[in-house]
Structure 1
Amino acid sequence: MKTDVDNFLNYLMVEKGFSGNTRDAYHNDLSQMADFGVKTLRKRGDQDLWDNFSRQDMLSYILDLKERNYAVTTVVRKLAAAKSFFSFLLEEKKIRRNPTDNIESPKVGKPLPDAISVQQVKALLEQPTKSGGQESKRDRAMLELLYASGMRVSELIGLNVADVDTDEEQVRCFGKGSKERIVPIHPQAARIVFEYTNEVRPRLLRHDDEQALFLNRRGERLTRQGLWQILKEYAAAAGLSGEVTPHTLRHSFATHMLNGGADLRSVQELLGHANISTTQIYTHLTSEHIRRAYDSAHPRARK
């Protein structure tokens, strides 16, 4: 039994190039499964642990993990280790059948995205105006555009000057798979981006052939890391607790749109989601808004 596990772990290191930490994690998971298997098979009088470890034993092991209140993500990881291990044993002809065949991993629920309130967004967007200087005007344009459009950070930093039409109040961005979409923006965001493009960007520009809309102090396209650092500093200045990232503004955009009455299909198109099920996660975030509306409107709910 121990030899089989050791051979598998050596295989992971040599053939698959796994790290020492990953090897240790697999060792712990498989040792736990082996302990469970020994106790189970001992009751039946079976000798060869792995060849007699049945599909039902595997299901019992998973149930045991759940009853011991292991997190779903931990159960998924331990099952993944077992699947890899038994596939290896089958390949090596150490077992006659794989007890993990047709056993699906438990579903891991997607964590609800974090969103900040309208008041918190307002406080955040006001921070660049307090700093002064041309870079603060660039920062304000970036943050306003993020919240006005719900764009991903990669989409924002990938924008070229020609992608924003401030007269038509819309922006063209390229999402996952280079899929193009046109997103409307409100007049205030369009005005702020226009002012940055015409007044500040020329001062940051170093090369006439540079097409990027948002530039760093070297006149080059701003990076994802650069934007994250800028936002982090403004979030701290606004007194926002917890981690606020560019994606937080995307989540807040979606949540506030739905709370304001936008339909799910429209928000899906604005966010550039290929599947509406991805957008539906935001409906969970509007429950508090719905609850307040219900409590204030229903005759029996009024206090």
Structure 2
Amino acid sequence: MNTDDASLVEKYLEYVRVEKRLAARTVELYALDLGKLSANAAKLSVALVEVKNNHIRRWVAQMHSGGRSGRGIALILSGWRGFYTWLGRQGLVSSNPVQDVRSPKAPKPLPKALAVDDAVQFADFESDDNAWLEARDAAMVELLYGSGLRVGELVGLDVVAGKDAKGWVDLQAAEAHVLGKGSKRRTVPVGKTALEALTRWLELRGPLGTATGAPTAATQADAAAALFTGRNGTRLTAQSVWQRLKRRSQLAGLNTPVHPHMLRHSFASHVLQSSGDLRAVQELLGHANITTTQVYTRLDFQHLAKAYDAAHPRARLRTPKKD
């Protein structure tokens, strides 16, 4: 790094340290990123104020090919972009060479879904909780896994349909009516096992939706309306569902903690594995765009690939014959 470049970097770091009051660790990371920038520029014998857009793009490509993650590159670019914004305010550069440069997109991780056996084991599990809690949790699991509901849709369900109800379950028609993302309503089928679990829960739930039958006056109206409630009579929250499922998965002996969206992913993956009908899965999940649903085809392919590797004679690795 030449003297002029080193001076500019030092002044900028002083600026973010004193005027922007960034944390010491953040300033250290900025210094490391600007050190990379200076080293790249020095290799080309280019001063930092003379760096162009094509230089930045070349260095991004080099970082990407070198194995740096898209997120890591994005953080580095953010530091560089801030530096050149500051140089522009000082009148030292006419444009920001990093302004329209984006990091390579990181591959989207596959949704986490349970294997069929694990999902069934989880759904069939009966805890040692009192009958009221066990019936409620079993009904929740059956709706999340059996109908692919989002946790927000689940906790928004009321006992009966009404003008103010976000959603409800029609036991006679075996259908759940839910209010999904974007305030879009959809109807999904409710399976026999889920209907049985819901029927048992409603028998034990009580008219006021509490384990004790004595909610406070402030919670009485909501307790009477909500399908799933806590022991104190208030509508069950999404956070409480997360906690209950995590606990249930540990008690059931599963290797991974289960959360509500994992059951939704499992529902979609298992229906797709059995039917191959992507459009039907899209409708059941309430996805506005089928590209959102297509991620489950990758899960389905993984399932097929494992079956192929296990069953097809040409997929089995063979030990090469020695000469």
The answer as to 2:120 corresponding to 1:115 is no
Query: Whole-Å Cα distance in 2 between the matches of residues 4 and 297 of structure 1?
Result: 61
Aligned to 2:239: 225
Query: Whole-Å Cα distance in 2 between the matches of residues 8 and 75 of structure 1?
Result: 21
Residues 71/296 of structure 1: CA separation in 2 closer, same or farther (3 Å cut): closer
Query: Contact conserved, 1:128 with 1:137, CA < 8 A, in 2?
Result: no
Aligned to 2:84: 86
Residues 151/81 of structure 1: CA separation in 2 closer, same or farther (3 Å cut): farther
Aligned to 1:74: 72
Residues 215/131 of structure 1: CA separation in 2 closer, same or farther (3 Å cut): same
Alignment of 1:96-111 (within 5 A): 96-111=94-109
* Higher mean C-alpha deviation, range 183-192 or range 252-261: 183-192
The alpha carbon displacement at 1:186 in A equals 0.9
Deviations 1:259-294 (A, max 9, x none): 111411111111111211111111111124333666
Query: Whole-Å Cα distance in 2 between the matches of residues 159 and 33 of structure 1?
Result: 50
The answer as to 2:196 corresponding to 1:191 is yes
The alpha carbon displacement at 1:154 in A equals 1.3
* Structure 1: tracts of 5 or more residues without a match: 14-18
Query: Contact conserved, 1:83 with 1:100, CA < 8 A, in 2?
Result: yes
Please give the TM-score of this superposition, normalised by the length of structure 2.
Answer: 0.80
Aligned to 1:16: none
Q: Tell me the secondary structure at the aligned position of residue 176 of structure 2.
A: strand
The answer as to 2:249 corresponding to 1:235 is yes
Residues 12/233 of structure 1: CA separation in 2 closer, same or farther (3 Å cut): same
The alpha carbon displacement at 1:256 in A equals 0.3
Aligned to 2:262: 248
Q: Among residues 184, 189, 203, which one is paired with 1:179 in the alignment?
A: 184
Query: Structure 1 counterpart of 2:190, which letter?
Result: I
Query: Whole-Å Cα distance in 2 between the matches of residues 101 and 129 of structure 1?
Result: 56
Identity between Structure 1 and Structure 2 (%): 34
The alpha carbon displacement at 1:40 in A equals 4.0
Q: Among residues 164, 170, 174, which one is paired with 2:169 in the alignment?
A: 164
Q: How large is the RMSD of aligned CA atoms in angstroms?
A: 2.7
Query: Whole-Å Cα distance in 2 between the matches of residues 10 and 261 of structure 1?
Result: 61
The answer as to 2:49 corresponding to 1:37 is no
Aligned to 2:163: none
* Higher mean C-alpha deviation, range 217-226 or range 89-98: 89-98
Query: Whole-Å Cα distance in 1 between the matches of residues 314 and 54 of structure 2?
Result: 52
Query: Structure 1 counterpart of 2:85, which letter?
Result: S
Q: How many residues align?
A: 293
Q: Tell me the secondary structure at the aligned position of residue 200 of structure 2.
A: helix
Q: Tell me the secondary structure at the aligned position of residue 275 of structure 2.
A: coil
Query: Contact conserved, 2:74 with 2:102, CA < 8 A, in 1?
Result: no
* Structure 2: tracts of 5 or more residues without a match: 1-7, 161-167, 318-323
> Which structure dedicates a bigger proportion of its chain to helix?
1
Query: Whole-Å Cα distance in 1 between the matches of residues 306 and 60 of structure 2?
Result: 41
Aligned to 2:25: 24
Query: Contact conserved, 1:128 with 1:139, CA < 8 A, in 2?
Result: no
Q: Tell me the secondary structure at the aligned position of residue 128 of structure 1.
A: coil
The alpha carbon displacement at 1:195 in A equals 2.5
